[in-house]
Amino acid sequence: MEAVARLTSCPMSARKMRLVIDNIRGKKVSDALNILQYTNKEASLWLTKVVRSAYANWEVKTEQDPAEYDLYIKAAYSDAATILKRFQPAPHGRAHRIRKRTNHITIVVANRVPTPAESNVA
């Protein structure tokens, strides 16, 4: 069983977010939260919220205790979103473009131990 959590228009570039996402992909949820807690980047704050949300979504979806089913992060990725374009005055009457980048985060959490609903289907 899988549960998905998404955060759209996170005010950070996708490139910076991917540096932290690569550290938690494929890890157990508890290990991923520990890694994020001690990662000294702003992206870890945003990712902690999304991982906790995916964990809660799995719990609501299955109505089971997540501790018994060995949850792990099956997929985690960051896609580029809209770019806010601004101009900054520059010397000699010119203007430099400032791009304020955003991204969309998607976290998919799945269980390694099958739930009773999954074992009845098979």
**Per-residue confidence (pLDDT) for residue 122, from 0 to 100:** 55
Q: Please check the confidence at residue 104 and state whether its pLDDT lies above 90.
A: yes
The pLDDT value recorded for residue 45 is: 97
Over residues 85-113, mean pLDDT? 96
List pLDDT tens digits, range 35-85: 999 999 999 999 999 999 999 999 999 988 888 899 999 999 999 999 999
Q: Give CA separation, 83 vs 11, 43, 101, in Å.
A: 10, 18, 5
Q: What is the pLDDT of residue 120?
A: 76
Diameter over CA atoms, the chain? 73
**Assigned token pair, 45:** 């704050």
Distance CA 25, CA 42 (A): 18
* Beta strand spans in the chain (E): 2-10, 71-89, 95-111
> Which of 115, 118, 32 is CA-nearest to residue 73?
32
Residue 74, number of CB atoms within 10 A of its CB: 17
Asked if residue 76 lies in contact with residue 33, where contact means CB atoms within 8 angstroms, the answer is no
Gap between the Cα atoms of 76 and 26, Å rounded: 8
- Examine the pLDDT at 119 and tell me if it is beyond 80: no
Q: Is the pLDDT of residue 98 over 80?
A: yes
Q: What is the CATH number of domain 2-121?
A: 3.90.470.10
**pLDDT-based confidence at 87, cuts 50/70/90?**
very high
Residue 121 binned pLDDT confidence (cut-offs 50, 70, 90)? low
Q: Which residues have C-beta within 8 Å of that of residue 110, sequence separation ≥ 6? A: 1, 2, 3, 71, 72, 74
CB 76 within 8 A of CB 24: yes
> Average pLDDT for residues 1-7, to the nearest whole number?
96
Domain boundaries, the chain: 2-121
